[in-house]
Amino acid sequence: MNNHASVTQLNNILTENFKLHGNNSITIADFMVAMWLARTVNLSQMANYSTRAGKMVKDHIYRGYQYLVHKFSISQELLATGILKMFGLLLPSCQILLALDRTNWQYGGKDINLLVLSVVVNGCGVPLFWIELDGRGNSDTDERKQVIDRFINTFGANKIRYILADREFIGNDWFDYLAQNAVKFIIRIKGNMLVEYNNDMISSSVLCKAANVTNILTFNGTIDNRQLRIQATRSSENELVIVVSNDLVAVNLLELYLKRWAIECLFANLKSKGFNFEDTHFTIHERIDNLTKLIVLASAIALLIGIIRAISYPIVIKRHGYKQHSYFRYGLDLIINQLIQNFAAAIELILACFINHQNWGQVVDTLQQRINNKMVGNAYGL
């Protein structure tokens, strides 16, 4: 099968899954292939890796990419649904961990600041909903509500196991909103926050001063007239870590909160370790939003393939105890090398991500078959 036929297959799947206009899907398939190979969202550099390079003038390819970013019409709701479907997480009985955080960068004199709600999957975050904030500062309660409302309106509050967030995301109105929507949360608090405990008002850092790596403190206290579960420990750098939750019987809050670091992994994937989001020259809200959607889709595919690849061919653990590669990078490397060595096999692997999986077991079975296929294995000496 030639490259054009393979891209046409991907076009058809994208059109079916995301209800795209046919002309858009052709550009999107080519756009993602170019982005994977170039590992940047600089459109001029990407045009060199287009499947149409040599057949079209580079400037025409570049303008096609520009038009796509200007006019990409898929909604965040539809993209989020497609991502959960890819990972076998769409069943109503399946609850998910969500992480809320911000990422920002500067292009020229303009600050670009996104508030992002991500699903946590195998230690990495995949964005589902986001908004661009004004300026470089923190989000306010109304902006957080806007992002969470989009999730609830699409999937329902009962889809959420917990929302994980850092010290920026505190406040009585914010906690009220989550409680009113029956959303459980695990949020880190500052050490100077006052806690009512045994009829005394005590700063959380004083109340939890006995916590250490081997002595995790767990108790219920009251903050702003709201009873919360509190858990505290110290990091390996001896920093006090205190989290609170409206789940008053939970025992593993800190263990779950650590999964919030998945969103840090996500931002690295979007930036220097992935597609160099900061290379973009776009600053207009709508275009940043459209480009983010394209990067999110490409990142989700790479992450899914990396997770499944690691089941058959585990990632090397280095002496310091950390994996040699993230799941995202492990999948991205496979996609890139396969696109170079066996383009048709790479597209077959990518297409497998969009099969209508009903659960995680089906996702694993389908993608393992593709990854263990002789064509893919030979390309990596597996």
Does residue 228 register a pLDDT over 70?
yes
Top pLDDT among 189 and 9 is at: 189
CATH dotted code for 77-264:
3.90.350.10
Model pLDDT, residue 73: 78
Torsion sign, CA atoms 72, 18, 51, 40: positive
pLDDT category at 264 given cuts 50, 70, 90 is low
Average of per-residue pLDDT across 188-214: 94
Average of per-residue pLDDT across 183-197: 95
* pTM attached to this predicted model: 0.89
Model pLDDT, residue 379: 42
Does residue 47 register a pLDDT over 90?
yes
Mean pLDDT over the full length of the chain: 86
Does residue 274 register a pLDDT over 80?
no
Does residue 375 register a pLDDT over 50?
no
The amino acid at residue 6 is S
Does residue 335 register a pLDDT over 90?
yes
Percent of the chain with pLDDT over 90: 52
Top pLDDT among 279 and 381 is at: 279
What's the per-residue H, E or C state across the chain? CCHHHHHHHHHHHHHHHHCCCHHHHHHHHHHHHHHHHHCCCCHHHHHCCCCCECCECHHHHHHHHHHHHHHCCCCHHHHHHHHHHHCCCCCCCCCEEEEEEEEEEEECCEEEEEEEEEEEECCEEEEEEEEEECCCCCCCHHHHHHHHHHHHHHHCHHHEEEEEECCCCCCHHHHHHHHHCCCCEEEECCCCCEEEECCEEEEHHHHCCCCECCECEEEEEEECCEEEEEEEEECCCCCEEEEEECCCCCCCHHHHHHHHHHHHHHHHHHCCCCCCHHHCCCCCHHHHHHHHHHHHHHHHHHHHHHHHHHHHCCCCECCCCCECCCHHHHHHHHHHHHHHHCHHHHHHHHHHCCCCCCCHHHHHHHHHHHHCCHHHHHHHCC
Least confident of 20-24, 43-47, 94-98: 20-24
CATH 3.90.350.10 range(s) for the chain read 77-264
Question: Which residue in 71, 29, 74, 68 sits closest to 52, CA to CA?
Answer: 29
What is the CA angle 107-111-113, rounded to 5? 115
Top pLDDT among 238 and 262 is at: 238
Average of per-residue pLDDT across 315-327: 78
Model pLDDT, residue 272: 55
Model pLDDT, residue 71: 82
Top pLDDT among 16 and 300 is at: 300
What is the CA angle 166-161-119, rounded to 5? 65
Dihedral, CA of residue 297, residue 301, residue 302 and residue 306, to nearest 10 = 150
pLDDT category at 282 given cuts 50, 70, 90 is low
Does residue 191 register a pLDDT over 70?
yes
The gap between the terminal CA atoms of the chain, to the nearest Å, is 23
Average of per-residue pLDDT across 332-354: 92
pLDDT category at 370 given cuts 50, 70, 90 is confident
